[in-house]
Homo-oligomer: A and B are copies of this chain.
Amino acid sequence: MKKILTSLLGLYAITAMAQTPNTYNVGGKLYPQVNPDKSVTFQFTAPSADKVVLNLGKDYEMTKDEKGVWSVTTDPQVVGFHYYAVKVGGLGVIDPAGEVFYGTSKWSSAVEVPEDAVAADYYTPKQDVPQGAVRSVRFYSDVCKEWRRMYVYTPAEYYDNPEKRYPVLYLQHGGGEDETGWIFQGRADVILDNLIAEGKAEPMIIVMNSGYAQVPGSSDSFDAFEQMITEEVIPFVDARYRTIADREHRATAGLSWGAKQAYDLALGYPQYFSAVGGFSGIIVVGEFGRSNPGIMDKTKRKAAYNGIFANPKQFNKDFSVLFIANGEAEGSHLADMSKTLKKDGIKNTFYQSPETAHEWLTWRRCLYNYAQLIFKK
């Protein structure tokens, strides 16, 4: 009896302490592994390498054993989605052990430090939840003179209601990412499937474009992006899908670098949009940079976007949602911006994601909250 009990306890202890292979490992690969303390253990076999460095937030020098296997265990990480990179002999590479995600301006490796199942429920696919469709759509941009790709999500009910028309959310990724980000990293399709099934969000179409756009020969990207979205993408989407093609049924949102683009689209082209969400990104007034205080300067703020903030009454009438959000670990500058705008009389919703950083778990939560606010009758 004692022996069995000991074995059972031993088993329990092993289970409780078990390392879990990263969600994104392919082909049954064991490493990277996420440990119970949320540190991550990496292992690579590189017998003839002099030096292997693992970057997950910061550099970790790996150590080699007698068999040429390099290992390192990182510091505990905050929960969520983290890009990592491996440097071997000074060359930055992608880990072949896992799925890849377009981020840091290239296809990149990533680890998901999982939340508990309850917290993760809203971005977990469920058998009893009807699925929307995500399709990759090529289109030729005359602005950029190139073939481009957008991802388009239509809700599960779209093809059951051949006459019904839908509102559209234009959703942007962050710097160094692309149109795949909100599906691959963000799981926007699963989040919306679940929200719609619960009746918490209106059925909507989501359109995801790469934010990188350039008129050949020009160095500016933001202007070309706005021109492409307003003159090409919106008409294309309105022609191809059953949209409600007016500003009341068009929203935009973006994260980080894409938050600037979302704000620029909605505030710069209010004839197209009636709702905007900025996830982990400030409203940029003046030069674009890491921290831009323009919005916090009353004179600059009132002059920005053709004076859109100068008339709060009109703004509140025109914009059904101004959603400002970030992760708790990102600091208070967006909470301050939200308060400042509220003091001006500009209605807005502020959301802060508990404990998370400048990464996709924050943005999944932002989308989850924002999607429940827009297109409400």
Contact = CB atoms under 8 A, between A and B. Distances in A.
Interface residues of A, number: 44
Nearest to A88: B88
13 contacts: A26-B106, A27-B105, A46-B88, A46-B91, A49-B49, A52-B91, A88-B93, A93-B95, A93-B96, A94-B94, A100-B100, A133-B137, A162-B162
A245 interface: no
Interface string A74-101: 0000000000001011111111111110
A6 interface: no
A135 B133 contact: yes
A107 interface: yes
A51 B48 contact: yes
Interface string A291-312: 0000000000000000000000
Interface in A153-200: 162, 183
Nearest to A108: B96
A231 B94 CA distance: 38
A131 B147 CA distance: 13
A134 interface: yes
Interface of A: 26-27, 44-52, 68, 86, 88-100, 102, 105-108, 125, 127, 131, 133-138, 140, 147, 162, 183
Given A46-B91, A48-B51, A89-B52, A125 B138 contact: yes
A254 B267 CA distance: 50
Contacts of A44: 91
Contact of A90 (B27, B68, B140, B147): B68
Nearest to A85: B96
Contacts of A135: 133-136
Contact of A107 (B52, B99, B127, B147): B99
Nearest to A124: B147
Given A45-B90, A135-B136, 10 more contacts: A26-B105, A26-B106, A44-B91, A46-B90, A86-B93, A94-B107, A100-B107, A107-B107, A125-B147, A135-B135
A206 B50 CA distance: 48
Nearest to A142: B127
A49 B89 contact: yes
B93 A93 contact: yes
Contacts of A133: 133, 135, 137
Nearest to A27: B105
A96 B106 CA distance: 6
Contacts of A90: 45-49, 68
B89 A46 contact: yes
A136 B134 contact: yes
Contact of A48 (B89, B94, B102, B137): B89
Given A105-B26, A106-B27, A45 B91 contact: yes
Nearest to A64: B89
A106 to B, nearest CB: 5
A102 B24 CA distance: 13
Contacts of A107: 26, 94, 96, 98-100, 107
A190 to B, nearest CB: 8
A300 B22 CA distance: 46
Contacts of A91: 44-46, 49, 52, 86, 88, 93
Contact of A106 (B92, B97, B134): B97
A375 B52 CA distance: 55
Contact of A127 (B92, B97, B140, B162): B140
